[in-house]
C-alpha cells in the first residue's frame, strides 16, 4: 500500500514538473511572438520609401537610359552632359510609353515614340512637331533625388523633402586601399523579408556546407534599436587572409580547421551589414521591386591589414592591386546566392500556398527583424 502511495506521489510530482516545463515553454513562445506580425501581413509588408536605396551599380548607367523598379515604381536613370545621374518616372505623359526605350540627347532624355524631350527636373523641353506659336504643354513627370556614392546609384523614392535628412549606408571599404571588394547582384521571386531573415539567422550556414565561410554559429547577444537589429554570434571561420592556402578549406569540408571568431550581423533598415572577425566585412543593399520580387547587391570586402608592410608600398601600386583584385570573390558570392535564392523562393511559394501558416521559429533574432520590417511598413502606410 505504501509503495502504491509513493508511486502516486511520484507521478503527481512528474506531471507537475512536465506542466511547469510546458508552461515555461509557452511563456517563452508567447514572449517571442509578442508583436510579431501575422504571416500574411509580414509577407506583404511595404517598404518605407523615405530611405536611400541602391538601385544600380554606377557602371550600369552609361550612355543609354536604364530602367529600374523600386516597390512598383517604374523609374528611368540616365546621365546628362556633365555625367550626373538623373532619375525620372519612366513614363512619357504623351502616350504613357517608357522613356527608357528612348535615348539621351544633351541634358535631355528623348521619348522614342514622338521625340518629346524631358530634362532632369521632369519638364518637357521640346516637342519637335509643334506648330509656330503653339506652346509646350505644362506637363511634368516626377523626378527623384539621386546620388552616386561608393560605386552605386542611390535613389530616394519617398518624400523628396526628406531626402536631405537621410544618408545612404556608408561603405568606407569601397575606396579604402587596404580592402579588396567584390560585388554580386541577386534577383529572386520572393518578398524581401525572406532575405532579411536569411541574412540575420546565421544558423543557415548548414545550407552552405559545401563551400562554407563560417560554421558552428552560436547566438551570444541580440540588440534592438528603433530602426535596427543586431545579433552577435560566435562562429568558426575557415579562411585567413594572411594564410591564402586556407581558401581551399571553403570547398573541401574534410580539410577544415576553423578558429573561433565573432560574427556580428546588423539589419540597419533597409540594408544589412556584418563583420566576420577583423578581416571580413559584408553588406547587402536591398532594393525590393515588389511584394514578390526583390533585387539586392551582396558586397564582400576583405582587409589586407594583416600584411603589415603594405602601407609602405607606393599609392599607385596599392590602387593597382585593389583594382586588379576587384570581384576576385564574385564567383564565391554567386555560389552562396544560388543556394539562398533556391530556399527563399521555396519559402515564398510555401507562403502563397499557406498564407496563414506561421513557421516554427527558435531563433529570437528572426522575430525581432520581422517586427522591425512590419513597423517600418506602418510608417509607410501612415504617410500614404
Please tell me whether residues 231 and 322 are part of one structural domain. Answer: yes
Q: Which CA distances in Å does 286 have to 193, 194, 361, 371? A: 10, 12, 24, 18
Highest mean pLDDT among 14-28, 108-122, 254-268: 108-122
Backbone dihedral angles phi then psi of residue 214, each to the nearest 5 degrees: -145, 165
> What global pTM score does this model have?
0.84
Q: Is 135 found in the same domain as 57?
A: yes
pLDDT band at 3 (very low <50, low <70, confident <90, very high): low
pLDDT tens, residue by residue, 49-95: 999 999 999 999 998 999 999 999 999 999 999 999 999 999 999 99
What is the DSSP secondary-structure string of 92-156?
-TTT---GGGSEEETTEEE-TTT--EE-TTSBEEE-TTPPTTPPPP--B--B--EEEETTEEEE-
Q: Which three cell numbers stand for residue 47?
A: 517598404
Domain edge (last residue) among 134, 165, 196: 165
On whether residue 48 sits in a domain, the answer given is: no
| In a domain? residue 156 | yes
Rg (alpha carbons) of the chain, rounded to whole number: 26
Q: Is the pLDDT of residue 105 over 60?
A: yes
CB 238 within 8 A of CB 249: yes
Q: 383 vs 88, 122, 143, 242, 264, CA distance in Å?
A: 22, 24, 19, 50, 33
Residue 25 lies in a domain: no
Find out whether 183 and 301 touch, Cβ atoms under 8 Å. no
17-31, 84-98, 232-246, 370-384: segment of lowest average pLDDT:
17-31
22 occurs within a structural domain = no
- Residue 317 sits in the same domain as residue 204: yes
Strand residue runs (E) in the chain: 53-57, 66-70, 73-79, 85-89, 103-105, 108-110, 117-118, 124-126, 146-149, 152-155, 179-188, 214-224, 228-237, 259-268, 271-276, 280-290, 293-303
* Distance of alpha carbon 241 from alpha carbon 207, whole angstroms: 24
pLDDT averaged over the chain?
A: 85
User: Do 180 and 257 belong together in one domain?
Assistant: yes
Q: What is the mean pLDDT of residues 169-196?
A: 94
| Of 289, 285, 270, residue with least CA distance to 50 | 270
CATH number reported for the structural domain that contains residue 198 in this entry: 3.90.380.10
Q: Which domain holds residue 197?
A: 172-383
Please answer whether residues 237 and 214 qualify as being in contact, where contact means their C-beta atoms are separated by less than 8 angstroms.
Answer: yes
The pLDDT of residue 279: 81
Q: How many domains does the chain have?
A: 2
pLDDT number for residue 36: 85
- Residues 219, 323: one domain? yes
CATH number, domain at 148? 2.102.10.10
Q: Are 145 and 230 within one domain? A: no
Assigned C-alpha cell, 231: 545579433
CB atoms within 10 A of CB 270: 23
Together in a domain, 85 and 188: no
pLDDT of residue 22: 41
Identify whether residues 127 and 178 lie together within a single domain: no
pLDDT digits (tens, 9 = 90+) for 293-339: 999 999 999 887 666 667 778 888 888 888 898 898 898 889 889 99
- Are 105 and 147 part of one and the same domain? yes
Classify residue 333: in a domain, yes or no: yes
Q: What is the pLDDT at residue 213?
A: 67
Q: Output the pLDDT for position 182.
A: 94
For residue 2, tell me if it sits in a domain.
no
Where a domain ends, among 145, 165, 185? 165
Domain boundary, last residue among 111, 145, 165:
165
Q: Sorting pLDDT into bands at 50, 70 and 90, what band is 106? A: very high
pLDDT value for 18: 47
Looking at the predicted structure, is the pLDDT value of residue 242 above 60? no
Same domain, 233 and 118: no
Question: Do 76 and 57 fall into the same domain?
Answer: yes
Q: Are strands 108-110 and 293-303 parallel, antiparallel or unpaired?
A: unpaired
pLDDT at 277 over 90: no
End-to-end CA distance of the chain: 75
Task: Tell me if 260 is assigned to some domain.
Answer: yes
Average pLDDT over residues 143-163: 96
What's the rounded mean pLDDT across residues 360-373? 95
Q: Band of the pLDDT at 257, cuts 50, 70, 90?
A: low
- Does residue 84 lie in a domain region? yes
Within this chain, do residues 104 and 138 fall inside the same structural domain, yes or no? yes
d(CA 209, CA 309): 35
Amino acid at each position: 500500500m505504501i509503495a502504491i502511495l509513493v508511486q502516486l506521489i511520484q507521478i503527481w510530482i512528474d506531471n507537475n514538473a512536465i506542466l511547469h516545463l510546458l508552461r515555461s515553454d509557452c511563456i517563452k513562445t508567447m514572449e517571442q511572438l509578442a508583436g510579431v506580425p501575422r504571416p500574411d501581413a509580414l509577407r506583404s509588408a511595404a517598404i518605407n520609401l523615405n530611405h536611400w536605396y541602391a538601385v544600380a551599380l554606377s557602371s550600369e548607367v552609361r550612355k543609354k537610359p536604364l530602367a529600374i523598379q523600386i516597390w512598383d515604381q517604374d523609374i528611368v536613370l540616365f546621365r546628362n552632359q556633365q555625367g550626373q545621374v538623373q532619375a525620372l518616372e519612366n513614363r512619357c505623359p504623351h502616350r504613357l510609353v517608357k522613356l527608357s526605350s528612348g535615348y539621351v540627347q544633351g541634358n535631355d532624355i528623348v521619348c522614342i515614340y514622338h521625340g518629346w524631350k524631358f530634362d532632369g527636373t521632369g519638364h518637357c523641353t521640346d516637342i519637335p512637331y509643334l506648330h509656330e506659336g503653339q506652346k509646350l504643354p505644362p506637363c511634368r513627370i516626377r523626378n527623384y533625388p539621386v546620388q552616386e556614392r561608393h560605386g552605386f546609384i542611390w535613389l530616394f523614392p519617398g518624400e523628396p523633402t526628406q531626402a536631405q535628412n537621410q544618408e545612404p549606408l556608408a561603405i568606407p571599404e569601397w575606396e579604402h586601399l587596404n580592402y579588396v571588394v567584390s560585388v554580386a547582384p541577386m534577383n529572386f521571386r520572393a518578398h524581401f523579408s525572406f532575405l532579411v531573415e536569411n541574412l540575420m539567422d546565421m544558423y543557415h550556414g548548414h545550407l552552405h556546407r559545401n563551400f562554407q565561410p563560417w560554421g558552428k554559429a552560436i547566438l551570444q547577444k541580440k540588440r534592438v534599436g528603433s530602426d535596427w537589429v543586431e545579433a552577435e554570434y560566435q562562429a568558426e571561420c575557415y579562411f585567413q587572409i594572411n594564410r591564402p592556402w586556407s581558401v581551399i578549406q571553403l570547398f573541401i569540408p574534410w580539410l577544415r580547421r576553423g578558429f573561433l571568431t565573432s560574427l556580428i550581423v546588423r539589419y540597419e533598415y533597409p540594408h544589412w551589414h556584418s563583420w566576420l572577425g577583423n578581416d571580413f566585412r559584408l553588406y547587402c543593399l536591398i532594393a525590393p521591386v515588389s511584394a514578390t520580387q526583390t533585387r539586392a547587391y551582396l558586397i564582400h570586402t576583405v582587409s589586407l591589414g594583416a600584411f603589415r608592410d603594405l602601407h609602405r608600398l607606393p599609392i599607385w601600386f596599392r590602387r593597382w592591386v585593389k583594382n586588379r583584385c576587384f570581384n576576385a570573390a564574385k564567383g564565391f558570392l554567386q555560389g552562396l546566392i544560388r543556394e539562398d535564392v533556391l530556399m527563399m523562393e521555396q519559402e515564398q511559394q510555401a507562403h502563397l500556398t499557406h498564407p496563414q501558416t506561421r513557421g516554427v521559429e527558435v531563433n529570437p533574432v528572426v522575430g525581432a527583424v520581422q517586427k522591425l520590417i512590419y513597423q517600418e511598413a506602418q510608417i509607410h502606410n501612415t504617410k500614404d
